[in-house]
């Protein structure tokens, strides 16, 4: 692949700075837990279902413990004690607790050792769920030829999961490798996961475990027909980050939008909540081999793509460092960036190439996620279709890995079925005719592209050292990312964050940390 001459020492320095920022942040993260982390533990222990008021049992149980002010110790031991008491499976135990038939929030007089043994048994089962999902996916993928990059990522968003199936199979027929079911807007702000199959949503379809199952089954069939593995994506970012990761594991999802800062900046979710949640969520993704997608592209929809390109680079470096801390390997890091420069700027395409190539060279082994133009998409769909063609060219030329399909009607409505077909035809055409272009060209030394890439790198370096001085939380509070200020103790979900007491127990987290990167 063509390479821009970059200063490797500078790159090492940038990565080191990002590492230090992540370490600083972990001084905080490691001492705290959240209600969604505790609910994830319950779900992995086997708690599922809802009560009469349609509230998930995982939420009910955590609420009870919170009311009794003993959440600081973690829910694991209390639930274990309840299981010993009921002598039933996790789901029935949860129902009995919720109906008030079992005491909850005490150790019920069981010995420390007895609790510990039962906790270990439950943890073994939980870890097995993560390992099984990983193995299931590997087995399915092996049945098909190795995928050809960039992978074609297409969204479906009808609101009705059954209608989404049809849209997805149509997209696969047109060449999609990845199907993302866009979530119903504002689901990221729900502090619980809706339950069961859903047929109504706004601008998307609710992320529920049952919806995951329905779509994964449809894509398994589509994979067989298309003779290539079709990946399924959903969205974890929000108030339920680790819980959605658990549901995704249960249904063998391949990718999750899982950004360490997106919820804070763009959904006004409290930063403490997000940082703690993203860590446990990513540990789960690492073990089950779910590729995370990060949301740097969003910075460029609110601030200028030239002026603020360095914030994308800086955020990628931070997401990488936090991801590695959560045991994610390069093949699971779908770091985001986007083709969002104002098309009226002369040589905008060259700057886009500089940005895309820079990302590629900074993270050569990562599965970079490249986003299409949205901000300057015109309601003249034919003009927008041309923009997408150039975006497609930039992607194949710079060897991006996950390519989100640009759609000509982006500026006016959620895509219609034939607009997905038009979009994929455009991608197929460009990817095919320019497949090896990146291997045939060189970037001119001191040319426009090289100079631009260097400039972004220099700006990112200054920015990261600034962040390191104050810490990431203060930097966000200061409005350093996307020109949005979020106070450390502001935003939604702060009441679900708590300091762990010395006797805190989360045996799943402990085990995942202890066993490190596991593959095979």
Partner 1 sequence: MDEHLIKPYGDKLNDGIVQLSFTLPVENSPKAVKAAQMYVSKLNFQNISVVHAKKIAQGFTYFVVYAQAIPALDLRLVKPKQIENKHLDFYEINKLIKNSLKRCLTVVGASIGTDAHTVGIDAIMNMKGYNQDYGLERYPEINAYNLGSQVTSEKLLKEAIDKKADAILVSQTVTQNNMHIHNLTELIELIEAENLKDQYILIVGGPQITNELAIEMGYDAGFGPDTLPSEVASYIMHKLQKNKDMT
Cβ distance to partner 1 smaller for residue 46 or 175: 175
Residue 254 known to be catalytic: no
Q: Does 421 bind partner 1 (CB under 8 A)?
A: yes
Catalytic option among 297, 370, 391, 492: 297
Applying CB under 8 A, the span of 104-112, 143-151, 363-371, 410-418 interacting with partner 1 comes to: 410-418
Q: Mask of contacts with partner 1, 179-218, x by CB under 8 A?
A: -----xxx---------------xx---------------
Q: Least distance from C-beta 499 to partner 1, angstroms?
A: 31
Q: Least distance from C-beta 291 to partner 1, angstroms?
A: 23
Among residues 35, 82, 157, 396, which is the contact residue for partner 1, using CB under 8 A? 157
Contact (Cβ atoms closer than 8 angstroms) between residue 152 and residue 427 = yes
Q: Does 174 bind partner 1 (CB under 8 A)?
A: yes
Of 274, 362, 266, nearest in space to 314 by CA: 362
Q: Does 374 bind partner 1 (CB under 8 A)?
A: yes
Residue 116 known to be catalytic: no
Q: How many binding residues for partner 1 (CB under 8 A)? A: 29
**5 vs 24: CA distance, rounded Å:** 32
HSE at residue 13, side-chain half, CA atoms within 13 A, is 13
Q: Does 416 bind partner 1 (CB under 8 A)?
A: yes
Q: Does 379 bind partner 1 (CB under 8 A)?
A: yes
DSSP collapsed to 3 states, 321-371: HHHHHCCCCHHHEECEEECCCCCCCCCHHHHHHHHHHHHHHHCCCCCCEEE
Residue 369 known to be catalytic: yes
Q: Does 31 bind partner 1 (CB under 8 A)?
A: no
DSSP collapsed to 3 states, 431-479: HHHCCCHHHHCCCCCCCHHHHHHHHHHHHHHHHHHHHHHHCHHHHHHCC
Sign for the CA dihedral angle at 239, 245, 247, 252 comes to positive
Helix, strand, or coil (residue 508): helix
Applying CB under 8 A, the span of 7-15, 207-215, 351-359, 414-422 interacting with partner 1 comes to: 414-422
**48 vs 304: CA distance, rounded Å:** 44
Of 241, 157, 160, nearest in space to 193 by CA: 241
Cβ distance to partner 1 smaller for residue 301 or 329: 301
Among residues 411, 434, 448, 488, which is the contact residue for partner 1, using CB under 8 A? 411
Structure-block tokens of residue 371 = 């986003």
Applying CB under 8 A, the span of 46-54, 123-131, 329-337, 370-378 interacting with partner 1 comes to: 370-378
Q: Mask of contacts with partner 1, 287-316, x by CB under 8 A?
A: --------------xx-x------------
The residues that are catalytic are 262, 297, 369
Instruction: Provide the binding-site residues for partner 1, judged by CB under 8 A.
Output: 157, 159, 166, 169-170, 173-174, 184-186, 202-203, 301-302, 304, 344, 374-375, 378-379, 410-414, 416-418, 421
């Amino acid at each position: 692949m063509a390479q821009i001459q970059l200063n490797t020492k500078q790159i090492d320095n940038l990565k080191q700075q990002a590492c230090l920022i992540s370490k600083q942040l972990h001084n905080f993260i490691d001492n705290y837990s959240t209600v969604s982390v505790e609910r994830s533990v319950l779900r992995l222990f086997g708690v599922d279902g809802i009560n009469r008021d349609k509230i998930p049992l995982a939420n009910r149980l955590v609420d009870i413990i919170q009311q009794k002010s003993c959440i600081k110790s973690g829910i694991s031991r209390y639930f274990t004690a309840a299981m010993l008491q009921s002598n039933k499976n996790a789901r029935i135990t949860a129902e009995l607790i919720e109906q008030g038939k079992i005491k909850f929030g005490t150790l019920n007089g069981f010995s420390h050792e007895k609790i510990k043994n039962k906790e270990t048994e439950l943890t073994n089962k939980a870890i097995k769920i993560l390992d099984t999902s990983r193995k299931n996916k590997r087995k399915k993928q092996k049945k098909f030829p190795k995928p050809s990059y960039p992978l074609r990522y297409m969204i479906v968003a009808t609101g009705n999961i059954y209608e989404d199936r049809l849209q997805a199979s149509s997209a696969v027929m047109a060449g999609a490798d990845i199907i993302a079911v866009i979530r119903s807007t504002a689901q990221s702000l729900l502090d619980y996961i809706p339950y069961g199959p859903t047929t109504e949503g706004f601008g998307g379809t609710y992320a529920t475990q049952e919806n995951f199952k329905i779509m994964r089954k449809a894509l398994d069939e589509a994979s067989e027909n298309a003779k290539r593995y079709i990946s399924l994506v959903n969205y974890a970012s929000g108030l339920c980050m680790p819980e959605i990761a658990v549901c995704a594991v249960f249904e063998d999802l391949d990718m999750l939008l899982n950004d360490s800062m997106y919820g804070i900046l763009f959904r006004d979710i409290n930063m403490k909540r997000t940082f703690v949640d993203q860590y446990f969520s990513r540990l789960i993704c690492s073990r089950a081999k779910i590729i995370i997608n990060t949301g740097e592209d969003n910075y460029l929809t609110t601030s200028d793509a030239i002026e603020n390109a360095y914030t994308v680079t800086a955020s990628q470096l931070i997401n990488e460092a936090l991801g590695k801390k959560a045991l994610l390997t390069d093949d699971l890091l779908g770091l985001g960036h986007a083709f969002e420069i104002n098309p009226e700027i002369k040589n905008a395409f060259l700057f886009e190439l500089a940005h895309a190539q820079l990302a590629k060279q900074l993270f050569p082994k990562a599965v970079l996620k490249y986003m299409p133009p949205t901000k300057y998409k015109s309601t003249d769909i034919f003009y927008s279709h041309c923009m997408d063609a150039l975006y497609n060219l930039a992607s194949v030329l710079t060897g991006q890995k996950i390519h989100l399909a640009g759609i000509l009607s982006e500026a006016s409505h959620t895509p219609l079925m034939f607009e997905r077909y038009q979009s994929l035809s455009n991608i197929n055409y460009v990817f095919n005719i320019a497949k090896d272009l990146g291997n045939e060209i060189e970037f001119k030394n001191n040319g426009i592209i090289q100079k631009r890439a260097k400039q972004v790198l220099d700006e990112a370096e200054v920015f990261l050292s600034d962040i390191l001085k104050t810490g990431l939380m203060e930097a966000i509070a200061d409005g350093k990312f996307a020109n949005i200020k979020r106070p450390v103790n502001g935003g939604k979900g702060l009441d679900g964050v708590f300091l762990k007491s010395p006797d805190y127990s989360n045996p799943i987290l402990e085990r995942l940390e202890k066993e490190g990167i596991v593959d095979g």
